[in-house]
Structures are given as C-alpha cells and as structure tokens.
Amino acid sequence: MPIQKLVDEKFFDSWSPESAYILGLLMSDGTLTTNPRGSQYVEFLSTDRELVDLIRSLLNSNHKISLKRRSPSEPGKPAYRIQIGNKYMLSRLSKMGLSRKSAMPRIPKRYYRDFIRGFFDGDGCVMFSNFFRTQRQKRQDYFQVIFISRYRQFLQQLWTILIKEAYLKGGSIHNGTRCYRLSFCQRDGLKLFDFFYKDLDKRLRLSRKYKTFRRGARHFGAVV
C-alpha cells in the first residue's frame, strides 16, 4: 500500500522567518514543474543535503529525498532533490512569484533578511582568503560576497533593498556566461554578515557559508 505523502500545505499562508527563508531558497534552486502525466510539483535541487533536509523538516513533509548523479558530460557534485505535489501550495507559491523569478516577490520588510539569506544560501557565495603577494612582498586580504541570478532585474531590486536595509555603499552587477552576478567587497561584505546572522535562529542558515562568512568577519574584527 502506497505511503500517503504529507506536507503542511498552508506553510506559506502567513509570513514568518521560516516561510521567508524557504521562499528564498525556492527562488534560487526551486522550480514549479509538470511531469508527462500532467501532475504538478515544486522541486528543490541542491548539492547541499542540509538545505533539502531543512525544507522537508520545516514543511512537515515525508516526501522522499533522491540523489541525482551527474552525467559524464555534466561534471560537478551530485545533487539532492525533493519533489512535493500539492495543488494548494503550488498555487500559493505561483502567486508569490516562484513561477517568474524575474522580480523580487512582495515581502514584508521585517522578513527581507530571511528571504535574502535563503536566496543567498541557494544561489550565492562568499569568498575569503589571506594570501601573500610576491610582487608586493606583503599579505593581502580577499573578501567578496556574490549573489547570482539569470535575471538582472531581480538583482537590481535586491541591490536596492540591501543598500537601504543593510546600509551598503557599493556593489556592482556583471554579466556572466549564463547569469548575472551582484558582487560586494570587504566593507559591504561585513555589513552583510551582520545583516544576515545577528540574533538568528541557527536553523535558518547554511553551515558552510556561515563558517566562511564568520572566518572573514573574525579576521576583520567583526563578530556576531
């Protein structure tokens, strides 16, 4: 007898740090898909098992997490996938902007940082290193935070919010091979560390990115 698939279909009916964070994750690595039989699903695919487990846990779901291995022509880490089929939830997510992804969804201001951190954990990166430059005969720091999206409009709107809410001063958008990149360097990166992680529920963050952020912040004397 098939196991009944469970999920909290009303999870996105009200705003909370959890719903905003998960929406951010889905805006980065989630899709609304239709299979050949016409059934609709929200799918989340990530190389970070931690994020897939968190989505399943917060949505009170018992849906299977599967492993998608890369083909020889598609190098990279294997990815973990969860597919959830629930018409009510899919309708809510579509209205919230998941079917478009080209623009920021309408989110209450108090949940901006949770949504943006979720998007960053899915489609962002933080890089920190302290290396020796032979030509200048001295050590040099490198600290950069990057958000990635196929849509320039989305990143432009995100940038505007971060300037206002996280008090950033710089930043730049560059056109990559298949996507756009919104980048911030040292001073703004440290402000983002504070914006993302101060007084945060530790569940709502990706451990490996937080650790890199924290290592850079400690190096520059900023601690959360």
DSSP letters for 45-97: EES-HHHHHHHHHHTT--PPEEEEPPPTTS-S--EEEEEE--HHHHHHHHHTT
Supply 105's token pair. 């969804």
Determine the length of the chain: 224
Per cent of the chain over pLDDT 90 is 66
- Cα 186 to Cα 183: distance, rounded to the nearest angstrom: 10
pLDDT of residue 73: 53
Whether pLDDT at 161 is above 80 = yes
**Does the predicted TM-score (pTM) go above 0.85?**
yes
Residue 2's pLDDT is what? 52
Q: Which residues contact 142 (CB under 8 A, 6 or more apart)?
A: 127, 128, 129, 130, 131
Asked whether the domain spanning 116-219 has the same topology as the one spanning 17-99, the reply is: yes
Task: Look at 191 and 37; give whichever has higher pLDDT.
Answer: 191
Tell me the CATH class for 116-219: alpha beta
Tokens for 96?
């919230």
Mean pLDDT of 74-98: 87
pLDDT band at 74 (very low <50, low <70, confident <90, very high): low
Sign of CA dihedral 92, 95, 100, 101: negative
CA distance 99 to 150: 14
Q: Which CATH number fits domain 17-99: 3.30.413.10, 3.30.310.10, 3.30.70.1060, 3.10.28.10?
A: 3.10.28.10
Average pLDDT over residues 145-172: 96
> Which tokens go with 149?
């999206």
* Residue extents of the structural domains in the chain: 17-99, 116-219
pLDDT digit string (tens) for 206-221?
999 999 999 888 887 7
